[in-house]
């Protein structure tokens, strides 16, 4: 499948090795013009030469470096169409392991770098009416990983930012997606395996085997597998995917997602819930069936788009019956588009 990435400009952060390098390689194979960044010049230039990318040395925890990174990428390659946010994970530890300064540095390098780079490239993407931002996080953004409190505390913020911004810029054909990767045998995971071995009094091989045993697929991921996923999510082929988190984890996540829009006290498939009704998650678990009425303003926000969507589906059904082509464009402002025929 052609991902339609040829000629697009992509900036991949933290790309001198591991997952970032795999993302850069996948994008370059698809014909994108790629810039890669990292702090260490030697490893960065080697990776850039191997994948066919432009190397730019930058420390993502520094605001001036982030500004220079975007400006230099656009000077060398042109306006940025694709941004892949990726950074080294915060150090392991518990609530009292690190000084508050370490927390500040982790927030700056992991979360604020994502926010800042996004703020710098999104205006241009909106003006050109195309852009894709893929934020690499971790499955720790969805489920706490023992001894990784900094990471598990910060990464959910990236999910929230991704979801919120995606809703604001979707109408301009700019999409944001978070990737929650599981265990891939990278330098970071090797370091975590060695730490687990020391803490458990076992060999690194035993610690690795125990961790892999938690993965239903029975193996760690290949960075190339993640690179292929990111290339797809960064492409026009994935234009309708936005504001969500995509897990690539071999099945390790145990998290259950509460289906949206389910009315409590109502079995699936027995009919729609009442517009403007708020369902309490605790009520779903208890089966109490209590309801809380939303404010009139909130109800209007729900009812208007619902009516527009209903009319759009009716129009599509009518066209199917007539055997004419379908117009997939959504209705705007709750009004039916005039049929040019």
Among 51-65, 174-188, 250-264, the range with the most confident prediction by mean pLDDT is 51-65
CB-neighbour burial class of residue 287 (10 A; exposed 0-12, middle 13-18, buried 19+): exposed
Mean pLDDT of the 63-75 span: 98
Residue 316 has pLDDT above 80, yes or no: no
Residue 338 has pLDDT above 80, yes or no: no
Q: What pLDDT is recorded for position 44?
A: 97
Q: CA nearest 47: which of 83, 18, 88, 85? A: 18
- pLDDT range class, residue 138, cuts 50, 70, 90: confident
Query: In the chain, what are the domains?
Result: 9-184+221-248 (3.40.50.720)
Residue 270 has pLDDT above 90, yes or no: no
- Lowest mean per-residue pLDDT among 1-15, 42-56, 143-157, 320-334: 320-334
* DSSP, residue by residue, 57-83: E--TT-HHHHHHHHHHHHHHH-S--EE
Give the separation between CA 105 and CA 320, rounded to whole angstroms: 56
Among 4-18, 182-196, 301-315, the range with the most confident prediction by mean pLDDT is 4-18
- Lowest mean per-residue pLDDT among 117-121, 169-173, 255-259: 255-259
Q: What pLDDT is recorded for position 149?
A: 83
Q: What pLDDT is recorded for position 315?
A: 56
Q: What pLDDT is recorded for position 318?
A: 61
Residue 328 has pLDDT above 60, yes or no: no
Per the prediction, the chain carries an average pLDDT of: 81
- pLDDT range class, residue 192, cuts 50, 70, 90: confident
């Amino acid at each position: 499948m052609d991902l339609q990435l040829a000629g697009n400009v992509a900036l991949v952060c933290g790309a001198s090795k591991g997952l970032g390098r795999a993302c850069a390689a996948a994008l370059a194979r698809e014909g994108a013009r790629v810039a890669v960044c990292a702090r260490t010049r030697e490893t960065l230039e080697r990776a850039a030469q191997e994948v066919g990318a432009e190397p730019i040395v930058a420390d993502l925890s520094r605001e001036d470096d982030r500004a220079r990174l975007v400006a230099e990428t656009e000077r060398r390659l042109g306006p940025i169409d694709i941004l892949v946010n990726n950074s080294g994970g915060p150090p392991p530890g518990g609530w009292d392991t690190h000084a508050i300064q370490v927390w500040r540095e982790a927030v700056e390098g992991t979360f604020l770098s994502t926010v800042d780079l996004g703020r710098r490239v999104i205006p241009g993407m909106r003006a050109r009416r195309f852009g894709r931002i893929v934020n690499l996080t971790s499955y720790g953004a969805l489920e706490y990983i023992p001894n990784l409190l900094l990471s598990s505390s910060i990464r959910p913020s990236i999910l929230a930012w991704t979801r919120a911004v995606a809703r604001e810029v979707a109408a301009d054909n700019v999409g944001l997606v978070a990737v929650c990767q599981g265990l891939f045998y990278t330098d970071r995971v090797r370091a975590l395996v060695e730490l687990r071995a020391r803490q458990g009094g076992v060999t690194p091989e035993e610690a690795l085997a125990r961790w892999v045993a938690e993965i239903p697929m029975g193996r760690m991921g290949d960075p190339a597998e993640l690179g292929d996923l990111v290339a797809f999510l960064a492409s026009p082929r994935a234009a309708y995917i936005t504001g969500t988190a995509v897990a690539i984890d071999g099945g390790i996540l145990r998290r259950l997602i509460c289906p949206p829009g389910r009315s409590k006290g109502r079995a699936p498939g027995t009919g729609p819930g009442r517009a403007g009704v708020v369902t309490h998650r605790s009520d779903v678990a208890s089966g109490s069936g209590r309801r809380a009425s939303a404010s009139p303003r909130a109800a209007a926000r729900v009812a208007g788009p619902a009516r527009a969507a209903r009319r759009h589906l009716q129009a599509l059904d009518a066209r199917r019956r007539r055997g004419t082509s379908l117009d997939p464009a959504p209705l705007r402002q709750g009004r039916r588009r005039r049929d040019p025929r």
